[in-house]
Chains A and B, each alone.
Chain A
């Protein structure tokens, strides 16, 4: 596995941008991000044409809900609008709610492992600022079991992840104050990290621990049980591209660009598991288990096994902090702490930017923003930056191996990838 799929790099849009306000569309977003990514990686459209003649290149588009947000489907074919060099290139759209980017990555990785293609362009995209937040909240409800969990519910996802916070608190018999303090610290870390990331949605926003702790009232409203605005990631418009390659192509590429194959990171492991779709079923199933999200833990274990690595080998994590409670649960799923003791890892600074196991140096979904279909691809791009020492101001010193967890629904679809050199 680890000698089969390489990552050559990519690019993301500035997640602070509001494309509707700019009078632009998801199509223009796709064009900008793909042009930028190819330029950054050093692959021209002529090169794509050359590879396409030999049927060696394909595109994979991750997107959750363009039908509702932009009244457009069939996005896999849409890259032909970006540039005619993509005429004839195999392309399809992949969807798994907030893990749409990862399912696109998974398809690309699979095709390269199977030696179907040599180059895979993975593009995650979501335009979300086309509608009000309450209408958008209803659209997002389709990532849960809409009829049972979202229909008629205002902002269903904060409520589902608020329930996760409730279960964590009860199951592990935590002191509420200490637990909520830990969640606030997760929020503080993600916002602080995002300040170093020039593409982060929240880089100019105010946030500190004091504000994250001040839950309730007009300025930090409760939106899902215990969870308030500061516990939530926020939707935005955005797209990200990562470009994957076979070993053969990576050799060609390395020669052409004057790099060494050993310096180009490889996908070392992956995991993919699907938990019961409703939160209630997840809760019932996990009774008696050490982990509240056992399938998330299993996905991480699968990836470790395939990579022949363990938590001790991972220098940096990008996790799906759609809410502070999801990042909290991920800490034990990664093996950084025992389940029920995540708060200790947080208190000790283990997951902070300068800690032993930094999580979300980019700012994560809370800091970078969460354009749903783009998030998984953005995480992979951030792992690439970290392990190639190109993350600029948010570089984790000496990062060699990185792990990402991207989830769709209420931790329903779980994807993990490990990237390293």
Chain B
């Protein structure tokens, strides 16, 4: 296993920078150079790192510094340089040029980018540097979300990849998922496909309940703690746009059209309504004079915010009760057999999610366990393979996909009936991700 004693974090004051630094200093016991635009910001990053992992013991080995004054010296003595500056080539490339000059042979350099090409970023380095350049896509907040997508590119050395993977897994306690250098990698490609297509359906069915209805149809009984549109609102519509635009521009697969940003998302972004971080987006919460909070939802047709509605959809109620009683197959039987357009939409998206996850095996990842891990550990969504089992196996799942006019991936066509399809059960109990 690779020994990593000294680490430089660039972007130390951001949520991801400080959170990742906390994990590296605590679990890894490493000395960490915390670099930001100025030393004061770096010091704030140290305090945020301490708070994120809740241990004062790391404070003494975190050293604040600035890019201008300290980058070269910090990089020169580091075993790993972890760059978490803003998500654009314009910002990252000049920084990489400086790191490339200062780094010692053998030092690992990685980026947390959730979408940029790792191969392109690696070009700033000489041959040894390219060999040691990776994407280490941590999720937010890093202490709680243990997924790390380890993104490789064609210039990497398999031995170094293995050693880094072992370090991330055994020392830092990450659930490591190996992905190829493709747009948005595994987790975001699958997650944002679903979120964006659900957003299109919200527009299509704007007069029937729109955003709130879609999140109700895709609520906890479908294997996620938060509805897809609530998730988009949580991560921010600007971030959502950046991710889906990147995938739309750089991929051509069966779901290509579903990555087009819906018009009303752009409208909200233009109005500065970016989601929870800006006080409102797809939803907003208003605090009344008496202290009570009321939730509102964006009406796509009128552009106004309406009180968040409650729905009474019988099959969802029944499925939820089954989940509550830990009868997961019973819940899926209800979903499979329910009538009405809401049930059709539920079946469509469950099918789409499973199909799209499995279709990326071979392109984005080498095995389905990697997409399963990405969704289970990174999004807290029931992994696609586990869904196949809860639905009653490959045949039943294919039946549902065909009825929903969703392509059936080869991996599922070739799967053996009567054998568990989900293989991460010992690491991740998929049942815990359903919400009743």
Q: Which residues of A contact B (CB under 8 A)?
A: 14, 17, 21-25, 27-29, 31-32, 195, 198, 204, 206, 208, 210-211, 214, 217, 219-220
Contact = CB atoms under 8 A, between A and B. Distances in A.
Nearest to B435: A23
Most A Cβ at <10 Å: residue of B55, B173, B426: B55
A23 B55 contact: no
20 contacts: A17-B432, A21-B435, A22-B432, A23-B324, A23-B435, A24-B323, A24-B324, A24-B436, A28-B325, A29-B326, A32-B431, A195-B173, A198-B426, A206-B26, A206-B27, A206-B143, A208-B26, A210-B57, A214-B56, A220-B55
Interface residues of B, number: 29
A23 B56 contact: no
Contact of A14 (B173, B429, B435): B429
Given A14-B432, A24-B436, A31-B325, A211 B55 contact: yes
B122 interface: no
Interface string B1-40: 0000000000000000000000100110100000000000
Contact of A23 (B27, B323, B427, B431): B323
B165 interface: no
B146 interface: yes
A217 B56 contact: yes
Nearest to A35: B326
B405 interface: no
B54 interface: yes
A298 B187 CA distance: 56
B220 interface: yes
Contacts of B56: 214, 217, 219
B426 A28 contact: no
B326 A32 contact: yes
Contacts of A29: 326
B434 interface: yes
Contacts, number: 61
Nearest to B326: A28
B53 interface: yes
Nearest to B431: A32
A23 B220 contact: yes
B55 A206 contact: yes
Secondary structure call for the B interface: loop
A349 B299 CA distance: 65
Contact of B324 (A28, A204, A206): A28
Nearest to A25: B324
Nearest to B52: A206
Contacts of B327: 31
B214 to A, nearest CB: 20
Nearest to B26: A206
A186 to B, nearest CB: 18
A25 to B, nearest CB: 7
A29 B27 CA distance: 32
User: Shortest 3 CB-CB distances between A and B: which pairs?
Assistant: A28-B326, A23-B436, A206-B26
Contact of A214 (B55, B324, B436): B55
Contact of A219 (B55, B146, B324): B55
A23 B434 CA distance: 9
Contacts of A219: 50, 54-56
A214 B55 CA distance: 9
Contacts of A21: 225, 435
A41 B366 CA distance: 34
Contacts of B53: 206
Given A32-B326, A211-B55, A214-B56, 12 more contacts: A17-B432, A22-B436, A23-B323, A24-B323, A24-B325, A28-B436, A29-B326, A32-B431, A206-B143, A208-B29, A211-B57, A219-B55
Contacts of B432: 14, 17, 22
B377 to A, nearest CB: 10
Nearest to A210: B57
A246 B381 CA distance: 43
